[in-house]
A and B are shown apart, each in its own frame.
Chain A
Amino acid sequence: MITLIQTLIDGAMVGLVYGLVAISFVVIYRASKIINLAQGEVLVFGAFLLWTFTEGSGYAIPLPIALVLTLIACVVFGAVIERTVFRPLIGQSAFTIFMAGVALLILLRGVAQLVWGAQTRSAPAILPEGAIEFGPFLVNTRLLIGAVFTVCLTQALHLFFTRARVGLRLAAVAEDHTTALSLGVSVRQAIAVAWILGTVVATAAAAVLLSGSILSLGVAVIGFKALPVALLGGLESIRGAPLAGLIVGMFEALAATYLDPITNGAASGLLPYLLMIAVLLIRPYGLFGWQRIERL
Chain B
Amino acid sequence: MLTLANIDVVYGGVIQVLRSTNLEVRQGQMVVLLGANGAGKSTTMRAISGLLHADHGAVTAGRIMFDGTDITHADPSAIVKSGLVQVLEGRRVLEHLTVHQNLMIGAHLRRDRAGIRADLDKVYQYFPALPELQNRIAGYLSGGEMQMVLIGRALMARPKLLMLDEPSMGLAPILTRQLFETVARIRREEGLTVLLVEQNARSAIAQCDYGYIMDGGRIVLHGSRAQLSSNEDVQEFYLGLSGAEDRTSYRDVKHYRRRKRWLG
Contacts and interface: CB of A to CB of B under 8 A. Distances in A.
Interface of A: 162, 165, 168-169, 171-172, 175-179, 181-186, 236, 290, 293
A168 B49 CA distance: 21
B81 A178 contact: no
Contacts of A176: 92, 94
Contacts of B28: none
Contacts of B101: 162, 168, 171
B94 A175 contact: yes
9 contacts: A162-B101, A171-B101, A181-B76, A182-B76, A182-B87, A182-B88, A183-B105, A186-B75, A293-B95
Contacts of B72: none
Residues of B in contact with A, size category: 20 to 34
A184 B81 contact: yes
B96 interface: yes
B157 A290 contact: no
Interface of B: 49, 51, 54, 75-77, 79-81, 85-88, 92, 94-97, 101, 104-106, 108-109, 139-140, 153, 157
B183 to A, nearest CB: 18
B261 to A, nearest CB: 36
Given A182-B49, A182-B86, A236-B96, 15 more contacts: A162-B97, A165-B108, A168-B101, A168-B104, A168-B105, A169-B108, A171-B105, A172-B108, A177-B54, A178-B92, A181-B76, A184-B108, A184-B109, A290-B95, A293-B95
User: Which of B54, B81, B94, B140 neighbours the largest number of chain A CB atoms within 10 Å of its CB?
Assistant: B94
Contacts of B79: 184
- The dominant DSSP class at the A interface is helix
Nearest to A171: B97
Nearest to A173: B94
B75 A179 contact: no
A178 B51 contact: yes
B80 A293 contact: no
A161 to B, nearest CB: 9
Contacts of A293: 95-96, 139-140
Contacts of A290: 95-96
Contacts of A177: 54
B42 to A, nearest CB: 12
Given A183-B157, A185-B77, A186-B75, A169 B105 contact: yes
Contacts of A175: 94-97
A168 B92 contact: no
A6 to B, nearest CB: 39
Given A168-B108, A178-B88, A184 B97 contact: no
